[in-house]
Structure 1
Amino acid sequence: MNFDDLLQRYFGTTDLSQVSAAVQQSGIDKMRVDFGLERDRARRFALWSVLYMLGQAPDLDVAFKDEAEREAARNLMDLLAASGGEYRA
């Protein structure tokens, strides 16, 4: 899944500064539903990653049953933090 494609799909643009709060919330709500329904591990992780960057990701123990997936998510969180703080799209 491409980051820009996800933004376009859920928010109608790749520039979140151009969307209203209502559109952003609607996109996040749709993304959370899709995250809950998605069975493909890579797609689930991509959706969780975008939700994390938006400050809307579910907790790791809720989002991922597999410890390896939780560890991958922790690694992403650490990388984003090391890049200058928590990332927010």
Structure 2
Amino acid sequence: MTVVTTICGIILLVAAVLVTYRLLDGPNSLDRLVALDTLIALSMCGLAVWAAYTGDSTFVPAIVALSLMGFIGSISVPRFRVRDK
């Protein structure tokens, strides 16, 4: 189980680095929004992997809070988005 969680953590870390590059260097604001949503999803997956590794269920409210934050951000940002030049 330790090998699986280590591999999952490494894959999530590599994905987070790639998504962070897209977040900082995105050609427009919608690409940055998708990258931010993906980064939130990767954070939720990272917390879930850590909770599975430790066997501690106190991370579940943090995962739920991150999912709500990602949902609200996905809904509210496009509504007030100004077109890129």
Global fold match (TM > 0.5)? no
TM-score bucket of the superposed structures, by smaller chain: 0.3 to 0.5
Normalised by the length of structure 2, the TM-score is 0.41
Structure with the greater relative contact order (CA < 8 A, sep ≥ 6): 1 or 2? 2
Normalised by the length of structure 1, the TM-score is 0.39
User: Which structure would you say has the larger Rg?
Assistant: 2
